[in-house]
Copies of this chain bind each other. A is one copy, B any other.
Amino acid sequence: MSEKYLEDFAAGQVYGSGRITVGKERIKAFAAEFDPQPFHLDEDAARRTIFGGLAASGWHTAALTMRLLVQSELKPAGGIVGAGFDEFRWPLPVRPGDELSVESEVLEVRPSKSRPNQGVIKVRTTTRNQKGEAVQVFVGNLIVPRRQS
């Protein structure tokens, strides 16, 4: 797939992704470095927490989502550059062995008023587990260059 410019995006487009499996040891290693809390580090301790068992850090889910996005067919020229989010939530925990995939739907395409060579696309990115349940949903705004005329 070639790189896309603002003119190539339209509301309603949907981009899928590959899949990635989240292993127990990677969950613990990510948590040890970035989110060292019992429910992300240790099965026994996790059982006695709000999660009821080992769960991936939400930031691990977010980082894996980014990897799936970068490898997906959503390929803005200049890369995937986020300007911020309007919404961001984790409806369900990610468990060891879950297989994640991502679907991105373009909600809006907006040329920039101040910068004639770029614009913003608003995209809802939903990360699902192997049962199709949403484990992360965000609505983000990506900076996308316009095609040189």
Give chain A's interface residues, CB within 8 Å of chain B. 30, 33-39, 49-50, 57-60, 62-64, 66-67, 70, 78-85, 87-90, 143
Contacts and interface: CB of A to CB of B under 8 A. Distances in A.
What 8 pairs across the A-B complex have the smallest Cβ distances?
A84-B89, A34-B63, A85-B88, A59-B63, A37-B79, A35-B66, A34-B67, A59-B66
Contacts of A34: 63-64, 66-67
A66 B60 CA distance: 11
A22 to B, nearest CB: 12
A121 to B, nearest CB: 15
Given A62-B59, A82-B58, A70 B36 contact: yes
